[in-house]
Amino acid sequence: MGRKTIDLKDAAEVFRDFYRAEGRMPSFTEIAEAFGYKSKNAAFELVEKLVDEGLLTKDARGRLRLASVGVRVLGTIQAGLPTTAEQDQMESVSLDSYLVEKPEETFLVKVQGDSMIDAGIHEGDMVLVERGRTAREGDIVVARVDGDWTLKTFERRAGQAVLVAANKRYPIIKPLNELTFGGVVIGVVRKY
Amino acid sequence: MGRKTIDLKDAAEVFRDFYRAEGRMPSFTEIAEAFGYKSKNAAFELVEKLVDEGLLTKDARGRLRLASVGVRVLGTIQAGLPTTAEQDQMESVSLDSYLVEKPEETFLVKVQGDSMIDAGIHEGDMVLVERGRTAREGDIVVARVDGDWTLKTFERRAGQAVLVAANKRYPIIKPLNELTFGGVVIGVVRKY
DNA sequence: ATTATTACTGAACGACCGTTCAGTTGTCAA
DNA sequence: TTGACAACTGAACGGTCGTTCAGTAATAAT
């Protein structure tokens, strides 16, 4: 046979790393460099195998594309986790596009304190805040009350806009002078 | 002056949409098509403006790159949300690469029930499960106990492996015959 | 009305792209 | 030992790429 045999899964990993670092797929010249080939054709044939395996895709003009960007979605937990054979047919979703609609207006903010713990937002969690969206009752908002920025639920009590913590140990905040909305929390992200 | 003047922010949105749909940035021919230009040069000059505005970047070989993939990270909530002027210098992070290390082994599972509510995992949340990772004490795991798949904290009581719910109303599960680990929960994602 | 400036068109350039092909080198099975 | 086969090398091809340049059309200021 030939010289070395590489695991195709490992090869696909190299492509994914390149895509993450560069934001695009490598050219055949770059693939050859990455794998230590001296010929583009060696890279070409490697890509053909990966396409056959379904790990890569090509578009009409031959440009490469990752078969699975993001994470695959499994319906419910009841079925257990899928095997390698089953997972090919599963839909794959990018967490960025799943959670964020307006990247230009969205920010990731680290949560301090436990004032929203009953809403499942713990200290150290990251909340996705969209700036400029109008807050509706019940929305969790980033707001500036009398000089301080806080993370609270926006509600109305007797016609007045108030900020309510999701923790019984915190009082309801009734803005005296100032109430500015920084943004609305559109999502929560936690990493263990 | 020339014929029409387009808002550069809107133009950048077109590029982002293309990148989301195709997984890569458009060529100048494709840009011309998307904006209704009959000449590649019109697209070229539009891109130059976007680069000047910092909305796009070019690499060494002239290929385009989105200036902000993913979401910008804001340190703490104390400072409030940044203005347009400040946000340019902020680091931008892809949620995919922030949360997921091994895309091939990671799955997104929708949570049913309230057994993990004290750990801040509510019904309807999505948990990121990495298959194959060895579970350590205190890890939240997807496990199969005596035939049923559940989401619980993995612990040891008197030398025996047990599954503990983060909810006082649920009992500790001591596996009778079978205990199979499907994967370890490496993150939580919630969308409002 | 004239001029300057901007928004384009259209053609051309070398460079690199994906692809193909002929040949070489190493490895395994018979 | 031999032959088949797979893993490569190296050169070549047309095509598309990013880029440049000369010119035209439309707006705005003078």
Task: Fill in the DSSP letter of residue A119.
Answer: G
Residue range B144-169, pLDDT digits in tens: 887 778 899 999 998 888 999 999 99
Instruction: Say yes or no: A138 contacts chain B, CB-CB below 8 A.
Output: no
pLDDT at B189: 94
Checking if the pLDDT of B2 tops 80, the result is no
pLDDT mean over B3-23: 80
Nearest chain A CA: its distance from B160 CA (Å): 23
Checking if the pLDDT of B60 tops 90, the result is no
**For residue A69, which of B141, B23, B7 has the smallest C-alpha distance?**
B23
Which of B104, B112, B118 to mutate against chain A (most A CBs within 10 Å)? Answer: B104
Question: Taking the C-alpha atoms of B13, B14, B20 and B23 in order, what is their torsion angle to the nearest 10 degrees?
Answer: -130
pLDDT at A97: 79
Residue A92: which residues within 8 A CB-CB, separation 6 or more?
A68, A69, A70, A71, A72, A73
pLDDT mean over B134-138: 92
Residue A76: which residues within 8 A CB-CB, separation 6 or more?
B109, B110, B112
Q: What angle do CA A6, A7, A9 make, to 5 degrees?
A: 140
Q: What angle do CA A178, A185, B8 make, to 5 degrees?
A: 90
B68 is catalytic: no
Q: Cα separation of A187 and A128, whole Å? A: 5
Checking if the pLDDT of A149 tops 70, the result is yes
A34 touches strand D (CB under 7 A): no
pLDDT mean over B62-71: 75
Q: Identify the weakest region by mean pLDDT among A74-88, B38-52, B60-74.
A: A74-88
Give the three-state DSSP class for B81. Answer: coil
Give me the CA A159–C1' D15 separation in Å, rounded: 68
Per DSSP, the residues of B104-161 read GGEEEEE--SSTTGGGT--TT-EEEEEETPPP-TT-EEEEEETTEEEEEEEEEETTEE
Q: Cα separation of A123 and A116, whole Å? A: 9
The domains of chain B are located at 8-93, 99-189
pLDDT at B140: 95
B29 touches strand D (CB under 7 A): yes
Max Cα distance, chain B (Å)? 81
Q: What's the fold here for domain B99-189?
A: Umud Fragment, subunit A (2.10.109)
**For residue B192, which of A169, A23, A186 has the smallest C-alpha distance?**
A186
pLDDT at B159: 85
Give the three-state DSSP class for B190. Answer: strand
Instruction: Say yes or no: B82 contacts chain A, CB-CB below 8 A.
Output: yes
Q: Which residue from A minimizes the CA distance to B113?
A: A77
More confident residue, A148 or B107: B107
pLDDT at A84: 55
Q: Residue B4 is which amino acid?
A: K
Question: Taking the C-alpha atoms of A48, A49, A50 and A54 in order, what is their torsion angle to the nearest 10 degrees?
Answer: 100
Checking if the pLDDT of A93 tops 70, the result is yes
Can you name the residues that pair with B181 across neighbouring β-strands? B143
Residue range A63-81, pLDDT digits in tens: 888 876 566 766 656 555 6
pLDDT at A83: 61
Q: What is the DSSP pairing of strand B106-110 with strand B92-93? A: unpaired
Query: Measuring from the CA of residue B6 to each C1', which nucleotide is nearest?
Result: C7
Q: What's the mean per-residue pLDDT of chain B?
A: 84
pLDDT at A4: 65
pLDDT mean over B70-84: 62
Same fold yes or no, A8-93 and A99-189: no
Checking if the pLDDT of A100 tops 80, the result is yes
Q: Identify the weakest region by mean pLDDT among B25-34, B81-90, B128-137, B171-180.
A: B81-90
Are B144 and A80 in contact (CB < 8 Å)? yes
Tally Cβ neighbours within 10 Å of residue A115.
Answer: 22
pLDDT at B88: 56
Chain B, window 95-134: residues with a beta carbon less than 8 angstroms from a chain A beta carbon: 95-100, 103-104, 106-112, 117, 120-122, 125, 128-129, 131
pLDDT at A2: 53
CB B191 within 8 A of CB A186: yes
Can you name the residues that pair with B129 across neighbouring β-strands? B107, B185
Give the model's confidence band at B11: pLDDT under 50 very low, under 70 low, under 90 confident, else very high: confident
Question: Taking the C-alpha atoms of B2, B8, B13 and B19 in order, what is their torsion angle to the nearest 10 degrees?
Answer: 80
pLDDT mean over B94-123: 87
Q: Which residue is nearest to nucleotide C24 (CA to C1')?
A: A2
Give the model's confidence band at B85: pLDDT under 50 very low, under 70 low, under 90 confident, else very high: low
**For residue A151, which of A132, A170, A134, A133 has the smallest C-alpha distance?**
A170
pLDDT mean over A108-131: 90
- CATH class, range A8-93: mainly alpha
Give the three-state DSSP class for A19. Answer: helix
Checking if the pLDDT of A107 tops 90, the result is no
Are A131 and B81 in contact (CB < 8 Å)? yes
Q: What's the mean per-residue pLDDT of chain A?
A: 84
Which chain C nucleotides are covered by protein, judged by CB under 7 A? 4-12, 16-22, 25-28
Question: Taking the C-alpha atoms of B85, B20, A192 and A165 in order, what is their torsion angle to the nearest 10 degrees?
Answer: 60
Q: What angle do CA A103, A106, A112 make, to 5 degrees?
A: 145
pLDDT mean over A151-168: 91
More confident residue, A54 or A39: A39
Q: Which residue from B minimizes the CA distance to A12?
A: B104
